[in-house]
Amino acid sequence: MESDNYKTLKSPAKGVYKEKGSRFLAFAFPVVNQDQIKPVVEGIRKEYHDARHHCYAYMIGRERLNWRINDDGEPSGTAGRPILGQINSFGLTNILIVVSRYFGGTLLGTSGLINAYKSAAADALKNGEIVERTMHEYYEIKYPYISMNDVMKILKEDEAGQSDQIFELECSMVIDFRVSARGKIISRLSRIEGLNYRYIETK
């Protein structure tokens, strides 16, 4: 059976690492899509505007294939990658970690930077609460009113969520269910005459 569980943070968390006068402030956030990344990073830049660098890494999606790193002016590979490494070490996804650096006047060198960004990210994750979530798929369905009972029976039996209902001659609603239940639910709904469905998103 297709797995639809993943681990992420329950709520934002902070961490800190200090080395030779430099301070590395780490901020970890649970996120569900890429649209959330830029506003969060820009918010950190604005609040900690006097920091020299704001490096980050994120991972999105149950398959953990959608990720990005940003060194924000630090030597290539010394910031974003070690931050991402901690996301991988903790086995997390749907998460963004931003590490803001206040330069202390002493160069740390490549290995020193890698260790600092890694340690700051790790501290934020250790301070956070890691939870297991279930990935759901969302669909819009439309069907004739006479099929109402058949639709509701399937949704109830397969424990699908419902929202945005419109009950008229042609009814519509948004439904959601665990990814692992997709095959069964879509198959059952497809047998209802006049029912159409449209995939919306996974989160």
Of 107, 133, 159, the domain-final residue: 133
Burial class (CB in 10 A: 0-12, 13-18, 19+), 40: middle
Domain match, 75 and 57 both: yes
Range of the domain at 158: 135-202
What is the predicted pLDDT for the residue at 107? 83
Give residue-wise pLDDT tens across range 14-33: 999 999 999 999 999 999 88
Domain match, 180 and 111 both: no
Of 133, 162, 183, the domain-final residue: 133
What is the predicted pLDDT for the residue at 1? 45
Hunting for tokens 């030779």 — which residue is that?
Answer: 20
Distance CA 181, CA 160 (A): 9
Of 133, 163, 180, the domain-final residue: 133
Domain match, 16 and 98 both: yes
Give residue-wise pLDDT tens across range 62-79: 788 899 999 999 999 999
Domain count along the chain: 2
Residues of the chain with pLDDT under 50: 1
* Sequence-distant (≥ 6) Cβ neighbours of residue 3 within 8 angstroms: 62, 180
CB atoms within 10 A of CB 53: 19
Give residue-wise pLDDT tens across range 169-183: 999 999 999 998 999
What is the predicted pLDDT for the residue at 64? 85
What's the distance, Cα to Cα, between the start and end of the chain in Å?
19
Whole-number average pLDDT of the chain: 94
Distance CA 19, CA 56 (A): 19
